[in-house]
Structure formats: structure tokens, C-alpha cells
Chain A
């Protein structure tokens, strides 16, 4: 198996999900190479060696600085064709999903998405794909190579193997239509601390918080736990918290080690975005909230009383 992993980066750092996928790929049989596309990214590319890439291709060109999918499809398509890669892997993101799907069309290759694992089974490569609100796990595969896959955020933890990667420059040759879309203004992180895709701990707030001002409770607990703050669709729609923090069917799918849900009912639309979290703790005053059916620890009570105490206790433990 020869695998190429797309290594996404933002503001000079790899996106954690990409590194997780890279680590997973390098644990399977065969060669694992990475590809970094951007401007001024050579130093960053070298760091991928420590996460399992034996070789990293670098398309370093101001023409591909903006995180737009189509120029990246051109770079990857050429690498896959020239290098004969049979497997191309991506960590889920808005950018990566667009690249993966366009690459599938370009190479006439199969794409499986939303995978949570990849295993070699009876000589075949098999992806694990939760379906129908994660009530079913499908074993999916590919009938031909190259095989393309997108993995759910948090599917794998990055590993530090400490290796070194050989760096190879690749020239950027774009299709006539690929540079037509242009970035007028690029987003920057709206808040400090880890993003919810990168966080090991997420504290989520729902309508049960009572109002936007009470997100302070979630933020303080998240800070004490070293995590990020997420929100349900209902509170994002109500304007209590930014969309970038929305977890659920129309937001992000996350699987941190710990997910603390404050005043979150656990409706299916939210559940699908977080049920693969390692441990789920829920505090809700409604004893009948659906979240109690799948939270590892559910507390029926007033979060306004419990959370400040909890935050204080966590702080004490850490200090």
C-alpha cells in the first residue's frame, strides 16, 4: 500500500485531524507520504516526519496560498498519477471535503466519507462508517484504486513517532479553471485556545444555559479543563454563540476524549455530532432529557449551581 495524506494547516500549524490521519496511515502496512500545499510552508512540512510521514511533498507557491480546494486538487491529482499512490486520505474539514470529492471525480476514484477507522481485513482495506445517526456501522471499501477517504474529526489521535521526512518540492501547475475562485478575505481564528476540532476536552452549552451571558460558565469550565467551548444549533441560531462552535448534524462532528454538556437536551441532531466522544458528562435540570440515555455520567440538577463549584474543584486539582 502506498498512501498519500493531505496535510491541512492553518496559521502555521497542522490541523490536528490531518496529523491523526497521518499517524493512522503510517500504522498500516506500506509507505506513507504527506503533501503540504501553501506559501512559505517548507519548515512546517518537515515537521510531518515526526508524525509518521517518510516523505513529504511541498507545493510551496504564492499562487496556492489561499485555502481554496481546486488548486490543491491539481497538485494532488498529479502526485497520485505520477507516484502511483493507491490510497489518498484526508481529515474532514470544509476544505478537505471539497478537495477529496473533486479528486475522486478527476481520478475516477471511489470516495468514502465520515469514516472513523480504517483496517486491513482479509487482504482488503475496510473503512468503518457510522450511518443513520450512527445507529449502524457499515464496513465500506473500494472496488478499484486509487481509494480516497475522508475521516471524521477526532477519529485518530496524532502520534509522535519521531521520524524524519524526506522533503520533495513539487511544481504547481494549475488547470485553467482552478484559479478562477479567489480569496478576497481570509478567516482568522475568532477565539483563543484550541478549536473544537483540535480539543481533547469540549464543554458544550445548550438552551438550558438560559442566556448568552451564561456561556461564561461553559468558558470558565473549559478553561479549567484545558478545552474548547461548543454550542448547540438552537443557541447558535439564537445568536448566543458563533457558528464555528456549532456541533451537530448541520455543524461539526467531534469526538474529544471528554464532552461535558451543559443544558443540552441531546436531541438527535446534536447527538450525531458528539456521540463518538470518549466520555460524555451531562448536566441538565430536565430528568427526561434524551442526553441521559447516552451520557456516561448524567447529573439531574441546576447547572448554575453545579458548574461554578465544578470549575473551582477542577482548578484546585490542577494547581
Chain B
């Protein structure tokens, strides 16, 4: 079985900032593999190991240096990496990103496409559904358990109401929850071997997407301005002297909350 895992490089938590000029996330600093994507890679590796054969290929859209994040996935055990790196794609929103990824995935024609549950930078948790629609494949998100048998994927989906069990025929797109597994750490051998694994860097045109359909030109959302969050009121802190329960009730009564 061939499994494609869509991954993303995100800025390290301590470097996360928005560029006041472009109003976009500043991606110039240190980056790392989006931690939620490690769950998707882990699940792909488990499926490959369980099936005895197959291939796990990482697919990403990002700046050239994002190859470092893909190498982490290769070090975990993925076989190959494909990065679409194109200056024209800077600032791509959901629409433009899904357009490029869908084309890159069409080239791979994997039996199963996996995503992590969200991106740690933009808190996006929607990309898979857009990609699946472009690929015209079934999609299931929030997979807490996943198995493949008889050409079908079976998923236990976490929702607001509990767990659903959903089945879909392959080829399919699945987004896994971070509850699905504990990603492995790359071994030293894995890290050493990662550099030698096939790594392809492509332009948008290489995957068949016109430069005018990516980046800001290919996007339909804009950021007008950045501002401060609304201020919260005064913060009160008190030590319990035995009357804390009464004081809480008084406080809540003052706000008409009890």
C-alpha cells in the first residue's frame, strides 16, 4: 500500500510572530516539523509495517528550508519526500494550498492520504477536506483509531458527541487525531540515513499549477489589520482564609452568574 502523508514546517514556538508588514506569519526563523504531523507519519509507518510492504511518501508545500522538517519525517522512517517550494506560493491560503497539494498528490496517486489534526502555527484544521474534494475522494477526519482491510479504511472518529465508526473505500483521505498514537523518536541510524533518501523539490508549475493560482493571487482571503485582543477586566487573587466559598458566591452574584 502506498501512503502519502501531508506535512508542514511550522515556526518553533518561541519564534512565532506575525510580520506587521505582510501581516503573515514570519517564517524566517527556525522551523520544525508540525508536531501533529508526526502522528500522521507514525500511523503511516505502522500501517506499512503491519502490511509488510508499501511506501510512505511525505508531501509538503513550503519554503525550501522546509526540507529540514521533511527530513525529520524521513528519519522517523518515511521512504521519500516531495516538497513544493515556490516563491510565488508564499502567502497561499487554504484555497491555494489545497490546489497545490491536490496536484502534488495526484502525481503520487497513493492509496491513502494522511494528515495530522491541525497546524500548530495557524491552528488550521480544515485542509484535508478541501484536498479530498479536489481529489474527489472520501474523507474522514479526527481519526482516533484507523485500520485498513479489504480495500477499505475503518476509522473511529472523535466528535463533540462521542465516537463514530466510519468506513470508506480506498483511495481515501484521513486526518488523524493526536490521540491515535505516540510518535516514535527518530533513531540515530534513521537520522543518518534520512539525508540519503530521495528528496524532490518541485515548483508549482512542476505539479501542474499555474503561478497565478498560488500565493496571494490564488487566494481568496485577506488579512486587513492586526490588533490587540480585547482586554480582560481586572484580575483579583485571594488566599483562602476559610471564607473563599462565600467570596466566590458574592463575586458571582455581583455578576449575576448565580
Contacts and interface: CB of A to CB of B under 8 A. Distances in A.
Contacts of B122: 131
B93 A10 contact: no
Interface string B120-162: 0011111111111110111111101000000000100111111
B221 A112 contact: yes
A101 to B, nearest CB: 4
Interface in A189-247: 189-190, 195, 197, 201, 225, 242-244
A263 interface: no
Contact of A110 (B219, B235, B252): B219
Contacts of A140: 221-224
B40 to A, nearest CB: 14
Interface in B167-182: 167-169, 172, 177-179
A300 interface: yes
A197 B141 CA distance: 19
Interface string A85-107: 00000000111011111111110
B178 A250 contact: yes
Contact-residue size bin, chain B (C-beta under 8 Å from the other chain) = 35 or more
A126 B224 contact: yes
Given A110-B220, A136-B226, A317-B258, A10 B249 contact: no
Interface residues of A, number: 95
Contacts of A141: 221-224
Contacts of B53: none
Contacts of A305: 240
B238 interface: yes
Nearest to B130: A105
Contacts of B128: 98, 101
B100 to A, nearest CB: 12
Interface stretch (B15-23, B43-51, B61-69, B74-82): B15-23
A195 B169 CA distance: 32
B162 A244 contact: yes
Contact of A317 (B126, B133, B139, B253): B253
A111 interface: yes
Nearest to A124: B224
Interface of B: 16-18, 23, 36, 93-95, 98-99, 117-118, 122-134, 136-142, 144, 154, 157-169, 172, 177-179, 219-230, 232-240, 244-249, 251-253, 255, 257-258
24 contacts: A95-B159, A98-B126, A101-B126, A101-B130, A105-B95, A111-B126, A132-B17, A138-B223, A138-B225, A139-B223, A142-B222, A143-B219, A150-B126, A182-B167, A187-B162, A189-B162, A195-B161, A197-B160, A201-B257, A225-B258, A258-B252, A281-B251, A310-B244, A314-B252
Interface of A: 10, 15, 67-70, 73, 93-95, 97-106, 108-114, 124, 126, 130-132, 134-144, 150, 175-177, 180-190, 195, 197, 201, 225, 242-244, 249-250, 252, 257-258, 279, 281, 283, 287, 292-302, 305-307, 309-310, 312-314, 317-318
